[in-house]
Structure 1
Amino acid sequence: MENKRRQFLKLGSLACLGIAGGGSLKGLSPVENIFPSPPENLSAVNNFSAMENNNQNNASLSIIGQYGDWAAGLRKDKLPSLSFRKQEFANLDAWRKTAKKQVTDRMAVPFIGNKPAINMVKQYDYDGLHIEELNWQLPYGRATEAIVLKPVNAKGKLPAILAFHDHGGNKFFGTKKITKTSDRQLALMADHQKEYYEGFAWANEMAKRGYVVLVADAFTFASRKVMLQDVPEKMRYGLTDPDLQNADGIAAYNKWAGEHEHIMAKSLFSAGTTWPGVFFAEDKIALDVLCEREDVDASRIGCGGLSGGGLRTVFMGGLDPRIKCAVCVGFMTTWKDFVLHKSFTHTWMVYVPLLPNELDFPEILGLRAPLATLVLNDEQDDLYTLPEMKAADKILRDVYAKAGAANHFNCSYYPGPHKFDEKMQAEAFAWFDKWLKK
């Protein structure tokens, strides 16, 4: 099972990066082009695994060959220009104001309007929770679908969590990855939760502890996904948009959507924005929705998620002070790790051009200091190297220590591959309780 999961992660990563190359798609179906036949797939996975092992055993090797040392050394071991670790930054508030402005400028966060009208689709009770299915229309794309969960018969204003779903190489689904709203759960989502969450719908488990939990589909996922019918026919490669019961069609869509990511990223850059900028703009709307609910205490809001959800936590937690407690799971390393070892394992959703000159990756999350922050890492996570996960840990500890809030930050390591299992969830939930419950 673990080997199968690792192969899925790597193949999903290759799909997300479009490693087959857009130009090679001509005349081939997406399945044939993006992934060869199964034996070749396994060979490719083994080759990449061998390459990773060699990279980590020989520091002179990098994923960009002899250019690695040069690229990683462009800053000549100097701290990024806006790092709070630099001696010249003594005033935390002044530094944060300057650094946040630079980050949002680099992200080119688009203005997408104020909080839209919220439509209640339906509400019902399930497994001790009251569940609301909502949607709202942004100025572009199809309506964003969201799920709100809270304990049945809850009274008064509750603390709340903005819960972020993962990427997982599966863009056909969003909110369903971390929720369960019926005993008739889709088999694909039951399998997904078993692989990544030890069988738990963690948003449900969080709500059962006395929280209002909001989960919304992210940009390009589920209700916000790019539909095949909406792109030129020559780009569909004979595929049509599948329904929920068509597992093979969903798999083919996910492979197509992975290959489409480099196209979306280039188009966003050409439009003068970035993928993290769009994520943040849309997640900020979801946070507005959560904060303005009558059953929510807006002074006690947290956010968190695994993998792609961890990435969104870095930006939302770092940039919006309404997030009083942030839990980043399975997405913490340094820009150096991406340069030398791991950019090929990551989606185009990660990158903000030029920002590494001003802040290292963990310092984006560090913008929230002294607010409570927890990072959870998996020691055998194929998406990062352990030395750089530990380097990121030290950076955040240094930032929090300088901010006079060392006990407001913690980082833990768990054995095993990329996941947010029951033990990790227990630590995350306890951390939220510590900082958000009166």
Structure 2
Amino acid sequence: MKRRAFVTLPPLALASGHLPAPAAASPGSLGAPGPGFESPGVVDGALPVFAERLKAELDFPLAWPHHRDLGWRAWRRLARAKVEELLWQPRDDSAFDVEIIDEQPRDGYRQRQVLFNVTGHSRVRAILLVPDGPGPFPAVLALHDHGARFDIGKEKLIEPWYDDTRRASAQAWAQRYFSGRFIGNELAARGYAVLAVDGLGWGDRGGLTYEGQQALAGNLFNLGSSLSGLMAREDVRAAAMLASLPEVDERRIAAVGFSLGGYRAWQVAALSDHIAATVSACWMTGLREMMVAGNNTLRGQSAFFMLHPGLARYLDIPDVAGIAAPRPMMLFDGEADPLFPAEGVAAAYAKMRAVWADRRAQHRLSTRIWPGLGHVFVREMQEEAFAWLDHWLRRG
């Protein structure tokens, strides 16, 4: 029969309800302070006390360098299939059923409001800009950011002509992040067809608040779905819809985005063969380097739009982007961007350069950290990106 060990507390401690202070943690204990046990269980930045141990376990076994023996195409199929599995959002082959509900002329292009089925559950209003003249044209899927601003989504990238209130909000947004320019309109004036669609929670699909994001994500999990997976699936669908339009050259479609839109840009390039080139501004980092106290991602809420549960057990963030290799990709980050520490950006860029180099496509990957700039996609950056797109997608 086993003996039980009892700890006797002093009578005064029992009577007063005050327990004696815990002893200092002994060497090798799981946490501190505490007599050999973990207490407290969370540290600054909402990280668990064992966060460093978890990070040490992340060796990203599905990353390309571990599978050269498979060959590139087999690895790419394997890696994409794993990402698809963890989206928790099934493939959707619903008819797009595109309907033009408004068209207005503008200098050098036409601006349209269109309806289409972004999934079998959601019919949405989108904005489409089409250059004047004979097509088919090169095209851009313009992917909006997060910014904790939900009254506008697609309007952050294409100037709305149909709503004065949204136009005022959009102009202020463009002034803050884009040197007062609308990225989609600039690209249309240069001869690109441009499509912008609201993500769930923004613009026409609004009603979301910053505090409500976690509940929305949790409820989608309870419904057997995923907020981040839904956004990824909808972006893949939007790229396929754009490729289906008679005005668009399906072989010359780019994904372009800033901030969360930048994340969405390289993600859709990894998941969709419709994307021929990518411009991602201000969203790239290594996962280990991102998961540090004080990082914005640790606050939760908006992180749920980028969180595929379990994916980190297989692939790092740049490993996912690498599925798009060897297609052309440009990544910009600001040296002073508070959301992405320079160490994480540099680590991610190095991983990606190695992947494109293995495909003998170093010239198709462009990475740059802009000195002195923060979380912005200003005119100077835009001009370099537009020239790069012209190089890869414009004939002649």
Question: When the two structures are superposed, what TM-score results if normalisation uses the length of structure 1?
Answer: 0.75
1:344 aligns with 2:324: no
Q: Say if 1:64 and 1:186 are closer, same or farther in 2 by CA, change over 3 A.
A: same
Q: CA deviation at 1:301?
A: 0.8
Residue of structure 2 equivalent to 1:367: 323
**Residue pair 2:334, 2:374 contacting (<8 A) in 1 also:** yes
Aligned pairs (5 A) from 1:195-206: 195-206=176-187
Query: Percent same amino acid among aligned pairs?
Result: 26
Q: In structure 2, the residue corresponding to 1:332 is in which secondary structure?
A: coil
Q: Which amino acid aligns with 1:73?
A: A
Moved more, 358-367 or 286-295: 286-295
1:400 aligns with 2:356: yes
**Residue pair 1:176, 1:189 contacting (<8 A) in 2 also:** yes
Q: CA deviation at 1:62?
A: 6.5
Distance 1:221 1:390 in 2: 32
Residue of structure 2 equivalent to 1:423: 380
More helix by share: 1
Q: CA deviation at 1:223?
A: 1.6
Greater RCO between the two (CA within 8 Å, min separation 6)? 1
Residue among 60, 64, 81 paired with 1:101: 81
Q: CA deviation at 1:220?
A: 1.9
Q: Say if 1:90 and 1:190 are closer, same or farther in 2 by CA, change over 3 A.
A: same
Structure 2 residue runs of 5 or longer lacking an equivalent are: 1-42
Residue among 347, 356, 366 paired with 1:410: 366
Residue among 238, 243, 247 paired with 1:286: 238
**Residue pair 1:131, 1:148 contacting (<8 A) in 2 also:** yes
Distance 1:380 1:271 in 2: 40
Distance 2:355 2:228 in 1: 23
1:261 aligns with 2:213: yes
Structure 1 residue runs of 5 or longer lacking an equivalent are: 1-59, 228-255
Distance 2:291 2:171 in 1: 35
**Residue pair 1:115, 1:285 contacting (<8 A) in 2 also:** no
Q: Which aligned runs of 4 or more in structure 1 are off by greater than 3 angstroms?
A: 60-63, 87-90, 181-185
Q: Which amino acid aligns with 2:112?
A: E
Q: Deviations over 1:375-419 (max 9, x none)?
A: 110111111111001100001001111122111111011122111
Q: In structure 1, the residue corresponding to 2:62 is in which secondary structure?
A: coil
Distance 2:70 2:93 in 1: 36
Aligned pairs (5 A) from 1:381-400: 381-400=337-356
Q: CA deviation at 1:88?
A: 4.4
Distance 1:405 1:435 in 2: 13
Q: Say if 1:61 and 1:399 are closer, same or farther in 2 by CA, change over 3 A.
A: farther
Residue of structure 2 equivalent to 1:20: none
Q: CA deviation at 1:369?
A: 0.7
Aligned pairs (5 A) from 1:288-327: 288-327=240-279
Q: Which amino acid aligns with 1:117?
A: D
Q: CA deviation at 1:186?
A: 2.5
Q: Which protein has the larger Cα radius of gyration, Structure 1 or Structure 2?
A: 2
Q: Deviations over 1:312-351 (max 9, x none)?
A: 1122011111101011111101111332242225532111
Residue of structure 1 equivalent to 2:314: 358
**Residue pair 2:107, 2:189 contacting (<8 A) in 1 also:** no
Distance 1:84 1:111 in 2: 24
**Residue pair 1:63, 1:340 contacting (<8 A) in 2 also:** no
Aligned pairs (5 A) from 1:173-192: 173-182=152-161, 186-192=167-173
Task: Give the aligned length.
Answer: 345
CA RMSD of aligned residues (A): 2.1
Residue among 56, 71, 74 paired with 2:54: 71
Distance 2:233 2:67 in 1: 33
Q: In structure 1, the residue corresponding to 2:126 is in which secondary structure?
A: strand
**Residue pair 1:61, 1:68 contacting (<8 A) in 2 also:** no
Question: When the two structures are superposed, what TM-score results if normalisation uses the length of structure 2?
Answer: 0.82
Residue of structure 2 equivalent to 1:378: 334
**Residue pair 1:126, 1:182 contacting (<8 A) in 2 also:** no
Aligned pairs (5 A) from 1:135-174: 135-137=115-117, 138-141=119-122, 143-151=123-131, 153-174=132-153
